[in-house]
Amino acid sequence: MSANITQLAYLIATALFILALHWMNDPKTARKGVMSGVVGMTLAIAATWIQPDIIIHHGWILAAVLLGIGIGYPLALVPLTAVPQRTALSHAFGGLAASLVGAAEFFHWLHAAPQEMTTFNMVALLAEVGLGGLTVTGSLMAAGKLQGVSWIPQRPVTYPGQNFVNLLLLLLAIGLGAALVHDPSQAYAAWIFAGLVSIALLFGVLLIIPIGGADMPTVISILNSYAGLSAVAMGFVLNNKLLITAGALDGSSGLILSIVMCKAMNRSFFNVLFGAFGQVQASTASAEGKTYKAETAEGAAQLLEQASLVVIVPGYGMAVSQAQHKVRELYDQLTKKGVTVKFAIHPVAGRMPGHMNVLLAEAEIPYEALVEADEINPDMPQADVVLVVGANDVVNPAAHTDKSSPIYGMPIINADKARTVLAIKRSKNPGFAGIENDLYYLDKTWMLFGDAKAVVGELVKNLSGAGH
Partner 1 sequence: MTDQVLALTQTAAAAAGAVEAAKTDLWPLLFVFLLSTFIGVGVVSRVSRLLHTPLMSLTNAISAIAVVGAIIFTGSELPPEQRVLGFIALAASMTNIVSGFFITDRMLKMFKEKRDQK
Per CB under 8 A, which of residues 96..125 are in contact with partner 1?
Answer: 96-98, 100-101, 103-105, 107-108, 111, 113, 118, 120-121, 124
Q: Residue 444 CB, nearest distance to partner 1 (Å)?
A: 29
Q: Is there a contact between 225 and 254 (Cβ–Cβ < 8 Å)?
A: yes
- Contact between 235 and partner 1 by CB under 8 A: the answer reads yes
Give the nearer residue to partner 1 in terms of CB position, either 370 or 413.
370
- Cβ closest to partner 1, residue 77 vs residue 280: 77
Total residues interacting with partner 1, rule: CB under 8 A = 124
Q: Should residue 151 be labelled a site residue for partner 1 when binding is judged by CB under 8 A?
A: no
Taking CB under 8 A as the criterion, the residue among 126, 131, 211, 220 binding partner 1 is 220
Q: In the stretch 33-72, what mask flags binding to partner 1 with x, by CB under 8 A?
A: xx--xx-xx--xx--xx-x-xxxxxx-xx-xxx-xxx-xx
Residues 252-311 that bind partner 1 (CB under 8 A): 252-257, 260
Nearer to partner 1, 13 or 206 (CB): 13
List phi, psi (to 5°) of 121: -60, -40
Instruction: Out of 201, 214, 244, 311, name the contact with partner 1 by CB under 8 A.
Output: 244
Is residue 372 near partner 1 by the rule CB under 8 A?
yes
CA distance 58 to 55: 7
Burial of 187 (0-12, 13-18, 19+ CB in 10 A): exposed
Q: Does 30 bind partner 1 (CB under 8 A)?
A: yes
What is the Cβ-side half-sphere exposure of residue 82, based on CA atoms within 13 angstroms? 13
Contact set for partner 1, span 78-97 (CB under 8 A): 78, 80, 83, 86-87, 90-91, 93-94, 96-97
Which of 114, 182, 198, 367 is close enough to bind partner 1 by CB under 8 A? 367
Work out whether 12 is an interface residue with partner 1 (CB under 8 A).
no
Q: Are 228 and 255 in contact (CB under 8 A)?
A: no
In sequence order, what DSSP letters do the residues of 222-256 get, joined into one string? HHHHHHHHHHHHHHHHHT-HHHHHHHHHHHHHHHH
Spatial distance between the Cα atoms of 396 and 123, rounded to a whole number of angstroms? 46
**Which of 238, 301, 310, 421 forms a contact with partner 1 (CB under 8 A)?**
238
Among 218, 283, 321, 357, the residue binding partner 1 under the rule CB under 8 A is: 357
H or E stretch at 407 = none
Q: Which residues are the active-site residues?
A: 393
Q: What is the sign of the dihedral through the CA atoms of 219, 325, 413 and 28?
A: positive
Residue number with CB closer to partner 1 (173 or 220): 220
Q: Of the two residues 40 and 177, which places its CB atom closer to partner 1 in the complex?
A: 40
- To partner 1, the closest distance from the beta carbon of 290 in angstroms equals 35
Angle (CA) 16-19-24 rounded to 5° is 130
Among 126, 200, 214, 232, the residue binding partner 1 under the rule CB under 8 A is 232
Looking at the Cβ atoms of 257 and 301, the one nearer to partner 1 is 257
* Minimal distance, residue 96 CB to partner 1, in Å: 5
- C-alpha distances (whole Å) from 155 to each of 18, 129, 343, 444 are 39, 29, 29, 32
Q: Give yes or no for residue 247 binding partner 1 (CB under 8 A).
A: yes
3-state secondary structure of 102: helix
**How far apart are alpha carbons 294 and 263 in whole angstroms?**
34
Burial 197-212 (b: 16+ CB within 10 A, else e): bebbbbbbebbbbbbb
* Alpha-carbon torsion angle 161, 280, 411, 264, nearest 10: 40
**Which of 45, 80, 44 is closest to 351 using CA atoms?**
80
Pick the binder of partner 1 from 179, 181, 248, 454 (CB under 8 A): 248
Among 32, 57, 221, 20, CA closest to 135: 221
**Considering the complex, what minimum distance in angstroms separates the CB of residue 117 from partner 1?**
11
Q: Which is nearer to partner 1, 253 or 271 (CB)?
A: 253
Q: Does position 337 bind partner 1 by CB under 8 A?
A: no
Q: Which of residues 157-196 bind partner 1 (CB under 8 A)?
A: none
